[in-house]
A and B are shown apart, each in its own frame.
Chain A
Amino acid sequence: MQEPLLFISVILRFFHLPVPEGMVGHTILAKLVSPHMTYTWFVMAILIITPKLTLGKLEMVPGNKQNFWEACVGGLEDFMADNMGPKRAAMMFPMMATFTFYILVANLLGLIPGFMSPTSNLNITLAMTLIVWFTHHFLGLRYHGFKYIKHFLGPMWWLTPLMFPIEVISNLARILSLSIRLFGNMMAHEILAAILFMLVGAFFAPVPILVLGVLVAVVQTMVFVLLSVIYCAGAMESAH
């Protein structure tokens, strides 16, 4: 959903860059300056600059700013350790923390007028989901070797021609459900807010939707990360 006014696109158009009118352009340059890309870079800039500004150097007795980041990171690590054990949580932490902060900031960004959520584009969510999907199968192969493939072949050998396609399909469905859930929720919310703004914007009708949008943004972040953690933990556990 293209919001009527995206201020990064407006600025880029001012410099005569070929910002596409729709979602995705045709040339490479137009693809690079399409809204979801520019807003992804904006989120990256927020995530790089904010900790740099607030965290000078780490102190033994944390001040306000350090306390905030310690609560975020520590809370996330505890949450992961509950689901996959402390050692594996420490191993998976960099990737999952990247996803968490990126998705959270990206979702919340869509609530501000003039910004859009990069996560309301299927390309972004599909890319993240593919990373998670390949990672959890790689971890499964790494931890169990050939036995991991064997667990795709069904309980009995003569059922293999039937069970293998079924297992592959139900695994591919994970990609679909994980990416479309995040994309659908964020895009639906943006469309709903935009339509309400056009129809009854004078009576502050979108405000309750924006309040719900905060909830949706946080819940969808949690769902995405929790499901990724559950998939990775399931692949690393002993095969059942």
Chain B
Amino acid sequence: MAGDKKELIRLMTDFGTLGLTMAGSVFIGLGFGYYLDHKIFDGRTSPWFTFIFLGLGIIAGFKNLYHMAKRKDF
């Protein structure tokens, strides 16, 4: 029983990060793309890096979900 409870807490903590991590990776991708466009290349490449890195951020969020779904340790 005690072991089950500990395992439950651990899994809840681990899976509780999913939402924030997914939203966070989208915004990190968007922010980095925007930074590249407007600070490094002075808006010459706008809006391409923003879109590319937004896409990469979304893929990273979903990859995280996929890895969590494929876990075999429970």
Total number of B residues with any Cβ neighbor in A under 8 Å: 24
Majority SS at the chain B contact face: helix
Known A-B contacts A166-B59, A169-B56, A170-B25; the reply to A181 vs B20 at CB < 8 A is yes
**What is the minimal beta-carbon distance from B73 to any residue of chain A, in angstroms?**
10
CA distance A174 to B21 in the complex (A): 6
Cross-chain pairs A/B with CB under 8 angstroms, 21 sampled: A83-B10, A165-B56, A166-B63, A167-B60, A169-B25, A169-B32, A169-B53, A169-B60, A170-B25, A172-B24, A173-B20, A173-B22, A173-B28, A174-B21, A176-B20, A176-B28, A178-B17, A222-B13, A223-B13, A230-B10, A230-B13
Nearest-neighbor residue (CB-CB) of A79 within chain B: B6
Per the 8 Å Cβ criterion, residues 147-178 of A in contact with B are: 165-167, 169-170, 172-174, 176-178
B contact residues around A166 at 8 Å (CB): 56, 59-60, 63
- Cβ B59 vs Cβ A173 within 8 A: no
B13 CB contact (under 8 Å) in A176, A180, A227: A227
Cα-based distance from A176 to B60 in the complex (angstroms): 14
Residues of A within 8 Å of B59, CB to CB, are 166
Name the residue on A nearest B6 (C-beta). A82
A172 with B28: in contact, given A165-B56, A177-B21 (CB under 8 Å)? yes
Do B13 and A169 touch (CB < 8 A)? no
Residue from B6, B16, B25 in contact with A173 in the complex, judged by beta carbons closer than 8 Å:
B25
Which B39-57 residues have a C-beta within 8 angstroms of A?
53, 56-57
Interface size on A, residues (CB 8 A): 20
A226 interface residue per 8 A CB criterion: yes
CA distance A180 to B32 in the complex (A): 18
Q: Which of B6, B20, B25, B53 contacts A180 (CB 8 A)?
A: B20
Question: Which of A170, A172, A181 is in CB contact (< 8 Å) with B63?
Answer: A170
Q: How far is the CA of A170 from the CA of B67 in the complex (A)?
A: 12
Residues of A at the B interface (CB closer than 8 Å) are 82-83, 165-167, 169-170, 172-174, 176-178, 180-181, 222-223, 226-227, 230
Q: Which residues of A contact B20 (CB under 8 A)?
A: 173, 176-177, 180-181
Query: Are B56's CB and A227's CB within 8 A?
Result: no
10 new A-B contacts at CB < 8 Å, known A170-B21, A172-B28: A82-B6, A165-B53, A166-B56, A166-B60, A169-B57, A173-B21, A176-B21, A176-B24, A177-B24, A230-B14
Bound CA–CA A226/B59 (angstroms): 26
Residues of chain B lying within 8 A (CB to CB) of residue A174: 21
A105 to B28, CA, bound (A): 31
Q: Chain A's nearest CB lies how many Å from the CB of B55?
A: 10
Contact of A226 among B9, B28, B53 (CB under 8 A): B9
User: In whole Å, how far is B58's beta carbon from the nearest beta carbon of chain A?
Assistant: 10
Residue in chain A with minimal CB distance to B20: A177
Which residues from chain A contact B61 at a C-beta distance below 8 Å? 170, 173
